[in-house]
Amino acid sequence: MSADADLLARARAWADDDPDDATAAELRALAERAAAGDADALADLADRFAGTLQFGTAGLRGALGAGPMRMNRAVVIRAAAGLSSFLHERLGGPPVVVIGYDARHGSDRFAQDTADVVAAAGGRALLLPQAWPTPVLAFAVRHLGADAGVMVTASHNPPQDNGYKVYLGGRVVTDAGQGAQIVPPYDSEIAEAIAAVGRVADMPRSAADAERNGGTQEVLGTDVLDAYVTRAMRLAPAGGARDVRVVLTPLHGVGGALVERVLREAGFTDVTVVAEQAAPDPDFPTVAFPNPEEPGALDLALATARRVDADLVVANDPDADRCSVAVPDPRAEGGWRQLSGDEVGALLGELIGSSAAGTGATLACSVVSSRLLAAIAARHGLEFRATLTGFKWIARVPGLDFGYEEALGYCVDPAAVRDKDGITAALLIVTHAARLRSIGRSLLDALDDIARAYGVYATGQLSVRVADLSLIGAAMSRLRQAPPTTLGGSAVVRTLDLSEGTEELPPTDGLLYETADRSRVIVRPSGTEPKLKCYLEVIADVEHDADDAHLAEVRAQAAERLAAVRADVAAAAGV
């Protein structure tokens, strides 16, 4: 059989086993066009059957559509069956699995399919009652003592995507990673169990199957959400300052109502939600990409902030596990400046680190985040750990008190939520801003204090989105074959190929360069999007008693160095 004939046969067999009429029809139509000689249809089929979706930085994630390389009901049912098989084997009995979902296209159906499979296999499926943020699901895994959790979400990806995050807890994981997303060897073991799944049509999924196998399915009430809110209130003790005006946007995601509730119950009543982005909408009509990091994503929020004379803008991504912050700044274009993930990480790290001083607790961040957190930990007598990118690594650091990654993810209460949580992070940063405002200061003043204490750590990113994934591999190959010898005018004194691993980090596809003047660059393919990412950092010393003018001068010089490093990295990578 020719390669094309084999591809067509596989496509038709998949369509025959597809439980969803719409995606089955989509695949049959595509196969008919390919069989008739349509080259584009044949290429599309080849892409859909190039393999199967694999667990990446944040679980399964891909475009909606038919075929094993897309997110669809057949893929989800197989994933649920494989996960259920893995759990039964690990536990020697039926598991408890809690399942959540966001408001993206297909999320509720994928969640119900997962619950059906878990129950039909004899497990106990606990389904959250409506579309809620990812941190609530992560909280529920530990709060309910579940053996696993599934969250159907594509987080900040474009509207055409969806995804499937898996958490392990309960009786499966009993160390510091209990309730965190899966890492090796769990991911490969679950993938093997998924690969062993037969036809979807043969998978037990009915209520009769569940009754026969002793499984149950339950739609939870709002108790778990109330417990999450009660826990969050511990981050904002009663009696503190609350006089701060906040503009909030959930970017058409599922976090708006819960963030507003958490702020209100903590005493923050002057909150304006961006009306155009308040309700969940899977098409995300007002933003090109529903990611607070993307240019333009906060335009409506900043316009609202100017209109109401706000003190602070808080933005969450669609599943509310990320949090972005913007503040008034007369030096910035439009009078407002969005803080970087590293800046918010430094603010929260200094706040939490100073409170935990001398306790032996640990601060952690991903290796691509700023080295400033390590300096903060050292000053306060705390441990520090750098991890691979992704909160599945940060959240399982033993003794963790605070963890963050530069991509706007913060874990401020790891005992309750072993994942990034944009809701509790928002509460803590708003509380911090209100306290500062009560003494005539701001978050920018706090950042100045940090710079005087530790120096200026200027960070930036060169991010290249591609349509052809081979371009990313080509860029990585160029850098491995001809690494830069200077960056920003300073000699490269250390080069690490992270694919070989280090004493601190397991192998990952990345390259690290450090220069004589302490600049650092890390280059890696994104684990969640078709991007090549280059993470840049320069360090500049600051006198402890530096006045505002001198501090501004040091920052300007650091920015110039950062721009020079960026240009050199772009040239070396050929992007």
Q: Which domains does the chain have, with CATH numbers?
A: 1-50 (no CATH), 56-220 (3.40.120.10), 228-450 (3.40.120.10), 455-573 (3.30.310.50)
Tokens of 270: 């002057």
Please choose, from the candidates 335, 333, 321, the residue with its C-alpha nearest in 3D space to the C-alpha of residue 291: 321
Contact status, residue 460 vs residue 343, Cβ threshold 8 Å: no
Reported as a pLDDT band with limits 50, 70 and 90, residue 206 is very high
Tokens of 172: 């499966």
Q: How far apart are CA 391 and CA 341, in angstroms?
A: 14
The pLDDT score that the predictor gives to residue 300 is 98
Contact status, residue 490 vs residue 484, Cβ threshold 8 Å: no
Backbone φ and ψ of 442, nearest 5°: -140, 175
Q: Which of 84, 85, 107, 155 is catalytic?
A: 155
Tokens of 561: 């160095």
DSSP string, 201-261: GGS--SHHHHHHHT-EEEE--SHHHHHHHHHHGGGS-TTS-----EEEE-TTSS-HHHHHH
The pLDDT score that the predictor gives to residue 268 is 98
How many beta carbons lie within 10 A of that of residue 25, not counting itself? 13
Identify the weakest region by mean pLDDT among 229-238, 251-260, 462-471, 477-486: 462-471
Compute the half-sphere exposure of residue 445: CA atoms within 13 Å on the CB side of its CA. Answer: 10
Share of the chain above pLDDT 90, in %: 91
How many beta carbons lie within 10 A of that of residue 209, not counting itself? 17
Identify the weakest region by mean pLDDT among 184-188, 347-351, 378-382, 455-459: 184-188
Contact status, residue 455 vs residue 542, Cβ threshold 8 Å: yes
Reported as a pLDDT band with limits 50, 70 and 90, residue 1 is low
From residue 480, alpha-carbon distances to 476, 483, 499, 503 in Å are: 6, 6, 11, 21
User: Residue 247: pLDDT above 90?
Assistant: yes
Summarised one tens digit per residue, pLDDT across range 275-286 is: 999 999 999 999
Q: Beta-strand (E) ranges in 274-374?
A: 312-316, 323-328, 336-338, 362-366
Place of tokens 């807890």: 169
Query: Does the active-site annotation cover 155?
Result: yes
Please choose, from the candidates 346, 389, 392, the residue with its C-alpha nearest in 3D space to the C-alpha of residue 366: 389
Q: Which residues of 264-286 are buried (b: 16+ CB within 10 A; e: fewer)?
A: eebbbeebbbbeebbebbbebeb
Tokens of 122: 């004899």
Average pLDDT over residues 48-55: 92
Summarised one tens digit per residue, pLDDT across range 445-485 is: 999 999 999 999 999 999 888 888 888 888 899 999 999 99
Place of tokens 């536990």: 91
Contact status, residue 238 vs residue 267, Cβ threshold 8 Å: yes
Please choose, from the candidates 222, 107, 100, the residue with its C-alpha nearest in 3D space to the C-alpha of residue 149: 100
Reported as a pLDDT band with limits 50, 70 and 90, residue 407 is very high
Please choose, from the candidates 335, 341, 508, the residue with its C-alpha nearest in 3D space to the C-alpha of residue 411: 341
Reported as a pLDDT band with limits 50, 70 and 90, residue 531 is confident
User: Residue 324: pLDDT above 90?
Assistant: yes
Residues 6 or more apart whose Cβ sits within 8 Å of residue 539: 371, 455, 456, 457, 458, 518, 519, 558
Summarised one tens digit per residue, pLDDT across range 11-46 is: 999 999 999 999 999 999 999 999 999 999 999 999
Residue 458, beta-bridge partner list: 538
Alpha-carbon Rg for the chain in angstroms: 24
Summarised one tens digit per residue, pLDDT across range 162-181 is: 999 999 998 999 899 999 99
Identify the weakest region by mean pLDDT among 56-65, 151-160, 268-277, 333-342: 56-65
Average pLDDT over residues 496-514: 92
Average pLDDT, the chain: 95
